[in-house]
């Protein structure tokens, strides 16, 4: 299988046919990857974390779990997950307003623009930006209500396998965040890689 | 002040000028009210729970908290909150797909259609349906990850006051759910009322 690289801070979008799977590898171990899925036949149906929480009755997905759409249909299955820790489904992707809030220079790369840009490269237009599944992003919940942003606990080579339950468009963004430690304590976005499996 | 009634299962949308507040009363104590806010000048900016969680570093809002938009601007302040318990910000509003999932007859009232219909009545078109703040909805988190749907712990006459930080459009839907106990163990949606304060 061809292994494709996503540079740190960049994004890719691709089609994943029903029944096929994508293996995404956290090459350096510390990279958060924002992940979206849209239904290929009608992109107004998309992976919705607020619907997935309701269908799973959980804040975080685990290996074996289905991930549901805004129409309560399963779109993906999280088939394999080698890392300790969780995958965040609570926080919006980073966006230009967040970097503005942090006082960064205008034009800072961000997952929201990455999502829109990666869909554009595939010939599609984003009509909204769903709350993604933030793979490996370490946002622990404490006292059943408090959140914090911490460095990932995943290790180099940890991977997830996501299998398409329907024909999907997948977007992965290797999060460009360099202010908070969500991409490691060195705050340096790094490359990840993926391959389509049969 | 004029007190307006929202029948159980129905919704109202109204404008709330910057600096003014709305007091919403849980008349019978057991009613979940899905609440949305859009910025009046540009409804593509809306109260976003996934951004609010990130700005508050909490799963649930409490009295005094600001509620943020998808552009990370405060839109509302939860100024008063007399009830014990929480207000859910984790679950999507009920929709026709949920009632279909439960095997209900087609045409069951639902908060998603209520949102779209209430905006229509105000001369506006919904281009997306954000994850609302579900006032008084009792979705406890346990073991820092598990969710359940329980009857509200609010009492007859409990109220919240929401103050507009910007000119807003507010939508309240007295949730029509009659399958799960989110509107009380009798599963009967009931009326609530609200008034605009200076």
Per the CB < 8 A criterion, the answer to whether B75 and B35 are in contact is no
H/E stretch holding A112 reads helix A111-121
Residues on chain A touching B70 (C-beta within 8 angstroms): 92
Asked if the model's pLDDT at residue A1 lies above 90, the reply is: no
Q: What percent of chain A has pLDDT over 90?
A: 98
* pLDDT computed for residue A37 by the predictor: 98
CB contact under 8 A, A146 and B60: no
Residue A198's pLDDT band, with cuts at 50, 70 and 90, is confident
User: Rounded to a whole number, what is the distance in Å from the CA of B148 to chain A's nearest CA?
Assistant: 6
Provide the 10 A C-beta neighbour count for residue A44: 12
Q: What phi-psi label fits residue A157: left (phi over 0), alpha (psi between -120 and 50 degrees) or beta?
A: left
Q: Is A60 helix (H, G, I), strand (E, B) or coil?
A: coil
DSSP classification of residue A45: S
Here the ipTM equals 0.96
* Ramachandran angles phi, psi of A104, nearest 5°: -75, 160
DSSP classification of residue A93: P
Cα radius of gyration (chain B): 15
* Ramachandran angles phi, psi of B126, nearest 5°: -80, 120
* pLDDT computed for residue B198 by the predictor: 82
At A12-69, the pLDDT tens digits run: 999 999 999 999 999 999 999 999 999 999 999 999 999 999 999 999 999 999 999 9
Which residue on chain A is closest to B53 by alpha carbon?
Answer: A91
* Ramachandran angles phi, psi of A100, nearest 5°: -65, -45
Strand ordering across the sheet containing A33-39: A11-16, A168-174, A33-39, A133-135
H/E stretch holding A34 reads strand A33-39
Residues on chain B touching A58 (C-beta within 8 angstroms): 145-147
**Rounded CA separation B65/B60 (Å):** 10
* pLDDT computed for residue B47 by the predictor: 98
Burial tier of A106 (Cβ tally within 10 Å: 0-12, 13-18, 19+): exposed
At A137-165, the pLDDT tens digits run: 999 999 999 999 999 999 999 999 999 99
Q: A-B interface: how many C-beta pairs under 8 angstroms?
A: 89
**Rounded CA separation B128/B119 (Å):** 11
Q: Is A152 helix (H, G, I), strand (E, B) or coil?
A: coil
Q: Would you write out chain B's pLDDT as a tens digit for each of its 198 residues?
A: 689 999 999 999 999 999 999 999 999 999 999 999 999 999 999 999 999 999 999 999 999 999 999 999 999 999 999 999 999 999 999 999 999 999 999 999 999 999 999 999 999 999 899 999 999 999 999 999 999 999 999 999 999 999 999 999 999 999 999 999 999 999 999 999 999 998
Mean pLDDT of chain A: 97
CB contact under 8 A, A57 and B148: yes
Residue A93's pLDDT band, with cuts at 50, 70 and 90, is very high
Query: Helices (H) and strands (E) in chain B — how many of each?
Result: 3, 12
Task: Compare CB distances from A141 to B71, B101, B144 and report the shortest one's residue.
Answer: B144
Task: Compare CB distances from B53 to A58, A86, A147 and report the shortest one's residue.
Answer: A147
Residues on chain A touching B95 (C-beta within 8 angstroms): 71-72
């Amino acid at each position: 299988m061809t292994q494709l690289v996503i540079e740190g801070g960049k994004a890719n979008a691709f089609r994943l046919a029903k029944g096929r799977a994508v293996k995404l590898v956290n090459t350096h171990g510390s990279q958060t990857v924002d992940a979206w899925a849209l239904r290929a036949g009608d992109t107004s149906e998309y992976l919705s974390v607020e619907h997935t929480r309701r269908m799973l009755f959980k804040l975080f997905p685990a290996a074996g779990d289905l991930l549901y759409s805004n129409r309560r249909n399963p779109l993906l299955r999280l088939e394999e997950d080698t890392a300790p820790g969780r995958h965040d489904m609570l926080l919006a992707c980073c966006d230009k307003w967040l970097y503005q809030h942090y006082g960064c220079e205008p034009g800072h790369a961000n997952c929201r623009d990455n999502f829109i840009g990666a869909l554009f490269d595939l010939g599609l237009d984003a009509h909204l930006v769903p709350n993604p599944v933030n793979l490996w992003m370490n946002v622990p919940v404490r006292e059943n209500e408090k959140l914090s942003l911490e460095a990932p606990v995943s290790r180099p080579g940890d991977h997830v396998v996501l299998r398409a339950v329907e024909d999907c468009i997948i977007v992965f963004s290797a999060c460009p965040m360099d202010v908070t430690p969500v991409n490691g304590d060195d705050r340096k976005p790094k490359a990840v890689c993926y391959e389509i499996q049969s």
